[in-house]
Amino acid sequence: QSVLTQPPSASGTPGQRVTISCSGSSSNVGSNTVHWYQQFPGSAPKLLIHTNSQRPSGVPDRLSGSKSGTSASLAISGLQSDDEADYYCAAWDDSLNGPVFGTGTKVAVL
Amino acid sequence: QVQLVESGGGVVQPGRSLRLSCAASGFNFNIYGMHWVRQAPGKGLEWVAVTSSDGVYVYYTDSVKGRFTISRDNSKNTLYLQMSSLRPEDTAVYYCAKKKSGTFYELPDYWGQGTMVTVSS
């Protein structure tokens, strides 16, 4: 099963900006929208960003998403200690007839 | 509010079967497609199966085709995953997840808390 490629880790100090990349292909990111999820250990994923850049209600505007071609990115501004979590991108894959998920990025606040 | 509650997980021997259930509430279950997604211990998320709102269209990841069956009972607001010929590599937390909208190419928005399946002799 194809997966979307993310860096395994990212880190920053409180208040800094962290960016997570998500690289796919023409059958997924290149032709469909991207969602981003946050997951704490032992908990279910939570939707952070949908349709490339849209935030569900309750998600702070210091989180933002973007997409260009076959890549997408999630930016976390004003980094806080409770941003320490795993982050996954996802996109529908036309050849799979289902979603593919990113490899996941663990964010650490130093 | 949307609630998804999985059940049916446990420890099972290789080659045996197990049926997972996901009880849905807080939304109009019969107009949304649903996904099953799993996460092996210490690993990332892996999509398993999807069903349309009426259960007519179902798709699976290659590794479970012919062994797993996704189904739903809209009268009971419940999603199922029948798993057979289980393998050690099927060991994971299994999440049910609601599609964000009624379109076919839609990803999950709400997720259940998950149920653990361990395949071991």
Q: pLDDT per position in chain B (121 positions), as tens?
A: 999 999 999 999 999 999 999 999 999 999 999 999 999 999 999 999 999 999 999 999 999 999 999 999 999 999 999 999 999 999 999 999 999 888 888 999 999 999 999 999 9
Residue A1 above 80 pLDDT? no
Residue A38 above 60 pLDDT? yes
Tens of pLDDT along A42-70?
Answer: 999 999 999 999 999 999 999 999 999 99
- Minimal CA–CA distance to B117: which of B29, B35, B36, B3? B36
Q: Which amino acid is at B27?
A: F
Among the partner-chain residues A43, A50, A101, the one whose CB lies closest to the CB of B100 is A50
- Could you give the CA distance from residue A24 to residue B64 in angstroms, rounded to a whole number? 23
Q: What is the DSSP code string of chain A?
A: ---BB--SEEEE-TT--EEEEEE--TTTTTTS-EEEEEE-TTS--EEEEBTTTBPPTTS-TTEEEEEETTEEEEEE-S--GGG-EEEEEEEEETTTTEEEEB--EEEEE-
Chain B residues within 8 A of A9 when measuring between CB atoms? none
- Could you give the CA distance from residue B41 to residue B20 in angstroms, rounded to a whole number? 18
The bridge status of strand A105-109 relative to strand A9-12 is: parallel
Residues A67 and A34: beta-carbon distance below 8 Å:
yes
- Minimal CA–CA distance to B59: which of A33, A101, A34, A92? A92
Tens of pLDDT along A71-87?
Answer: 999 999 999 999 999 99
Closest chain B C-alpha to A51 CA, distance in angstroms: 10
Among the partner-chain residues B61, B113, B114, the one whose CB lies closest to the CB of A98 is B61
Mutation site, B105, B106, B110, interface A, largest A CB count within 10 A: B105
